[in-house]
Amino acid sequence: MDHGEVEVARSGRRVTVTDTGIAHWDAETVVYRGYDVRDLVRESTFTEVAYLLLYGELPDELFLADFQAVMAESFAVPGPVQELLEELPLHVAAGDVLRTAISAVAHFDPQPGDRSIDADRARAIRLLAQVPVLVSTRFRATRGFDPLQPDLEWSYPAQLVALLTGQMPSPDLEKAIEVLLISMVDAGFSRSVQAARLGISAGTDLYGAVLAAVSVEATTERSDLATRLISLWEDMPWDDDVDGWVREQLNSEAGLPGLVSLLEAPMDPRLGVLQIWTERLAVEGRGRAINRAAAEVERAAAQWGWSPRWEWSAIRLLAVAGIEPELHLPLVAVSRLLGWAAHVLEQSGLPSSGVTEGHYVGPGPRDYPSLPDWD
């Protein structure tokens, strides 16, 4: 049996630690808990999808109301955490700030000694409520503004946009952000998901597992990806030969950030949903120009078997919507976090999905060098 395929008994059946009931995808579609994502973005809210991933079923009105009530009670950020976010050095990247913030709120957990799945599910719900407030507090502090408080009458995506930008989104932008949040859930076995599952199987709680995922997600490459891509789309360095320029970049050592070869990973069907809403938002001005430039690069890259990664498509939508680059990673963090939390709950109680024994590749036996005689 391969490493990571250790069989375990759970709920009366034999499973492997790489089995998952969270998501499945192929070249045509992506499915969460059996539901086509295209149906979910059309019929469900992000809050309903969050319930689905954390509990396994779509909620009825009563359960959804209870779920939303728990989230509403969890929005408040402890004062010491707020002060910490306001005092962190300005150069600290958004992903690193989020990691620090999650670690800090963990110290105020009302169930610190409870390591049950129910307690971890409650932690996940609290984090979904608190992360928008955490990233908003930090961003506004760097701009010299007082923190904002969420309005419980708003939808989750409306709260997220309002907390980060200080303005209520238009109905189209509100829906586009909802589609983005549902589409960008980290539901597959990404490196971040593997880090989270390994953490919970090694004995940490949900906070520790999510921190492991955040540490993988918030790499230097991704922290400034939005700025680099938006600059690329605005500068359009290919002049009148986008095909030649793209071919040259793909053949270079640097490549093109945000794109992936279809030989390495299949095209993600969810990106088509994002493109529809990106086109809808790109009606005029700067957003329209950015959208046209990004589309040109995508078309040229497709000829050589390259496709956008989720980061490219998310940045394209948010840039077209006029969202500041440094807010892109924090804005999708709640979506990514939802996937990590669902995987943590599924992995809880199972053995590690990673390699359990190291494979030594160092030097063979060596004689210890003789030491000089000391008088």
Strand runs labelled E in the chain = 7-10, 13-16, 23-25, 30-32, 35-36, 259-261, 306-308
CA-based Rg of the chain, rounded to a whole angstrom? 23
Digit-coded pLDDT (tens) for 193-237? 999 998 998 888 899 999 999 988 877 566 688 999 999 999 999
CA–CA dist 251, 269 (Å, integer):
26
- φ, ψ at 374 (rounded to 5°): -110, 130
Domains in the chain, ordered, with CATH? Answer: 16-218+336-347 (1.10.580.10), 223-320 (1.10.230)
Helix/strand/coil for 30: strand
- Reported as a single tens digit per residue, the pLDDT across 3-29 is 344 344 444 444 455 678 999 888 788
Is pLDDT larger for residue 248 or for residue 269? 248
Compute, in degrees rounded to 10, the torsion defined by CA atoms 167, 79, 344, 209: 110
Structure tokens at 38: 């295209």
Question: Maximum distance among all alpha carbons in the chain?
Answer: 87
The CA-atom distances, in angstroms, between 52 and each of 30, 32, 57, 338, 355 are 15, 8, 5, 10, 30
pLDDT of amino acid 34: 94
- Distance from C-alpha of 163 to C-alpha of 191, rounded to nearest angstrom: 29
Taking the C-alpha atoms of residue 193 and residue 216, their distance in angstroms, rounded to an integer, is 9
Task: Look at residue 295 in the predicted model and tell me its pLDDT.
Answer: 96
Contact between residue 137 and residue 147 where contact means Cβ atoms under 8 Å apart: yes
For 238-256, the pLDDT digits (tens) are: 988 999 999 999 998 878 9
Of residues 288 and 222, which shows the higher confidence score?
A: 288
Strand order through the sheet with 23-25? 23-25, 30-32, 35-36
CB 278 within 8 A of CB 180: no
Confidence at residue 56, expressed as pLDDT on a 0 to 100 scale: 94
Any idea which residue has 């396994």 for tokens?
Answer: 56
> What is the CA 351 to chain-centroid distance, rounded?
24
Question: What is the predicted pLDDT for the residue at 324?
Answer: 87
H or E, element range at 206: helix 206-217
The SS3 call for residue 247 is: helix
What Å distances lie between residue 171 and 45, 153, 370, CA to CA? Answer: 14, 15, 77
Reduced 3-state DSSP string for 274-294: HHHHHHHHCCCHHHHHHHHHH
Q: Which residue has the higher pLDDT, 13 or 82?
A: 82
Whole-number Å distance between alpha carbons of 229 and 235? 10
Question: Which of 334, 346, 341 has its CA nearest to residue 47?
Answer: 334
User: 109 pLDDT band (50/70/90 cuts)?
Assistant: very high
Cα separations in angstroms, 183 against 23, 205, 335, 337, 353: 12, 26, 8, 13, 26
Q: What percent of the chain shows pLDDT beyond 70?
A: 91
- Which pLDDT score is estimated for 353? 57
Which tokens in the block code for residue 349?
């109680």
pTM of this prediction exceeds 0.85 = yes
What are 178-196's pLDDT values in tens digits? Answer: 999 999 999 888 889 999 9
Residue (of 248, 221, 345) closest to 304 by Cα position: 248
Query: Two tokens at 97?
Result: 């700030």
Report the alpha-carbon distance of residue 347 to residue 6 in Å, rounded.
13
Q: What is the three-state SS of 324-360?
A: CHHHHHHHHHHHHHHHHHHHHHHHCCCCCCCCCCCCC
How would residue 164 be classed by pLDDT, with cut points 50, 70 and 90?
confident
